[in-house]
Amino acid sequence: NNKISIPFDMSMETAAGTVKFSHNAGMVLEKQNNKSEWHIVWNEQMIFPQMGPGDKVRFNLSEAQRGELLDRNGKELAANGTVQSVGVVPGKLGNDKETSKSKIASILGIAVDQIDSLLNQKWVKDDLFVPIAKIPENDGRTDDLLKIPGVKITNVKARVYPYKEAMAQLIGWVGNISGDELKKLNSEGYTDSDIIGKAGLEQIFEKRLRGKNGGEIWIEGSDNSRKQTIIKTEPQNGEDIKLTIDANMQDALYKQLSPDAGDAAAINPKTGEVLALVSSPSYDPNQLVLGISQSRWKALNDDPKKPLMNRFAQVYAPGSTFKAITAGIGLKTGKINPDEKINIQGLTWQKDKSWGDYYVKRVSDPKRPVNLKDALVYSDNIYFAMSALKIGGKPMIDGAASFGIGEDIPFEYPIKKSMITEGNFQNDIQLADTGYGQGKVETSTLHLALIYSSLINNGNILKPALELKEGGTPQVWHEGAIPKDKAEIILNDLIQVVEDSKGTARECRIPNVSIAAKTGTAELKADKNDKEAKENGWFVALNTDNPRLAVSMMIEDVGARGGSHYVVPKVKNVLTGFLK
């Protein structure tokens, strides 16, 4: 018997799903070169049993839509839109091709060599459209480009970011999957043609935003008729995610920060909903999606203000804004009596001679003993340095921990955890400096906004929320960070920081609006002899009647611009715009 039939089972993964079938492979014994060998009897049914002579396999991909990111009011933050693909039909460039290419390069801000490289690809023919670059929809350069012979512009689908720089660090961007990413995600169905979240929430929510493509495989008869469907799956679009972010708030804060280097966080103090997370300077993520030039990418990386750095995810010395936390720890441990008046002489102080030539300095001397309210109103460094020493090293660290300092914030977006010190304080000087926000303490703007909001939440620190959920209720992160009665004392004192005629935040007064606030200036000294140290300015404020908004802002290098007083009016502008 020179013919046999061998049964086999086939399973193949396709873009439309898994296809399985059983069939028989025919084999025949044939003699070639004086040797007998078994050969497969090939026919179309070896591909799919339903196929016959002359049939073809056809495939159609049904692309899934990536989910969109929306603000709390439904405004698009990351959307599926269209951009313009600018290209040329080589055979229509005209007689003076070099001039045409030069004009195209000049308008698009690219090199002629880049155009030549694209036109020299092997597949290019005179009558084919060759994409050169992508530009935004309704771009003002369109008319000038279309005047050049051979230029053609078509609309193509793309991810678009309407709020550009204002949202870049928060929302992020998408791009073509890299080889390394494909290796890690190959088992999850990614292919080398996929788009993937590269940064920000596009990356963090990738699994939810990503859709799953569908497709159909069918057999086409020799007469071009549709003969039989092998498999068909419908596309599954990605999930649209509505955030707690207020696009108007985000945009307003970015405009106040730009072009300075700094960051800001805004939250609803009663719910923990994050309304804005802003970093400045920034970049336009649309440029990365469209295709950024090497020169522009280099400029972003070399910019000393670091626009690619996400500042709201970092921690910084909080300066005098930390005094409210020291006050909370002191009141909670009984080491601060709010009514006790401390007699402090002059503008400098040291614990004893063991400090050598190191002194704690304060900005002003009220010429009278000061209590807790005075110390917060005047932002008295010496009072809080003394208080930290009374509290003691371990109680200070433990007290800070009750505010969440030293642990990760329970939040979808990764933010560096605030720190007070690694281990124990090295000495009394470091402990004293920490009392007024210098020393080793570092916090993020978001964490400070959450801590200050505890003052109107009975001393409880709320868990921040980034995703807007129907019927969601505020979740407590740290219960009883400050006892309720102590929180009320600090809150009332911080209101006086604004209302008192000598308060450091008096510039933030808003008619008919009660504001509790604290300024802060952090000196970034390498050591005590550093005379050229830069200063970061801080301001944290929240409204206290029907509390709706808490804003925390930090701006770098404000030493020559009034310190924290450079920051105060910027936050005030936002508070006024959204509370009035």
Q: What is the CATH number of the domain that holds 347?
A: 3.40.710.10
Let me know whether 25 and 42 are in one domain. yes
Same domain, 277 and 349: yes
Residue 81 lies in a domain: yes
Q: Single out the residue of 302, 303, 286, 284 nearest to residue 133, CA to CA.
A: 286
- Give the per-residue pLDDT at 280: 97
Does 302 map to a domain?
A: no
Q: Are residues 546 and 573 in the same domain?
A: yes
Residues 236 and 261 in one domain: no
Query: What CATH number should be reported for the domain holding residue 229?
Result: 3.90.1310.10
- 572 and 463 in a common domain: yes
Q: Would 493 be classed as within a structural domain?
A: yes
Q: What are phi and psi of 118, to 5 degrees?
A: -70, -35
Whether residue 204 is contained in a domain is answered as: yes
CB atoms within 10 A of CB 95: 7
Residue 5 β-bridge partners: 26
Q: State the total domains in the chain.
A: 3
If asked whether residues 557 and 523 sit together in one domain, one would say yes
Whether residues 159 and 235 share a domain: the answer is yes
Q: Distance between CA 146 and CA 364 in Å, rounded?
A: 66
513 in a domain, yes or no? yes
Q: pLDDT by residue for the chain (580 residues), tens digit each? A: 789 999 999 999 888 889 999 999 999 999 888 899 999 999 899 999 999 999 999 999 999 999 999 999 999 999 999 999 999 999 999 899 999 999 999 999 899 999 999 999 999 999 999 999 999 998 999 999 999 999 999 999 999 999 999 999 999 999 999 999 999 998 888 888 899 999 999 999 999 999 999 999 999 999 999 999 999 999 999 999 999 999 999 999 999 999 999 999 999 999 999 999 999 999 999 999 998 877 888 999 999 999 999 999 999 999 999 999 999 999 999 999 999 999 999 999 999 999 999 999 999 999 999 999 999 999 999 999 999 999 999 999 999 999 999 999 999 999 999 999 878 899 999 999 999 999 889 999 999 999 999 999 999 999 999 999 988 899 999 999 999 999 999 999 999 999 999 999 999 999 999 999 999 999 887 666 666 779 999 999 999 999 999 999 999 999 999 999 999 999 999 999 999 8
Q: Are β-strands 214-220 and 56-62 bridged in parallel, bridged antiparallel, or unpaired?
A: antiparallel
Closest CA to 402 of 289, 481, 302: 481
Residue 306 resides in a domain: no
pLDDT reported for residue 529: 67
Active centre residues (catalytic): 320
Evaluate the CA torsion angle 107, 112, 116, 118 in order and state its sign.
negative
**What letter does residue 508 receive in the DSSP assignment?**
G
Q: State whether 479 and 553 are in the same domain.
A: yes
Q: What pLDDT, on the 0 to 100 scale, is given for residue 353?
A: 95
**Adjacent-strand bridge partners of 217:** 59, 231
Range of the domain at 49: 3-56
Quote the CA–CA distance of 350 and 449 in Å, as a whole number: 32
Distance CA 454, CA 460 (A): 5
In a domain, 398, yes or no: yes
Q: 133 and 28: one domain?
A: no
Please check whether residues 471 and 512 belong to one and the same domain: yes
Q: How far is it, in rounded angstroms, from Cα 564 to Cα 572?
A: 13
16-36 burial, b at 16+ Cβ within 10 Å, e below that, comes to beeeeeebeebeeeeeeeeee
What are the distances in angstroms from CA 332 to CA 36, 126, 316, 335, 419? 95, 80, 25, 8, 20
228 shares its domain with 272: no
In the chain, count of helices (H) and strands (E)? 18, 22
Q: Residues 537, 563: one domain?
A: yes
Angle at 320 between CA 314 and CA 324, to 5 degrees: 95
Distance of CA 341 to the CA centre of its chain: 45
Whether residue 515 is contained in a domain is answered as yes
Question: Partners of 36 in the beta sheet?
Answer: 31
| CA gap 112, 132 in Å, rounded | 11
pLDDT for 295 equals 82
Angstrom distance (rounded) from CA 84 to CA 82: 7
- Cα distance between residue 101 and residue 116, in whole Å: 8
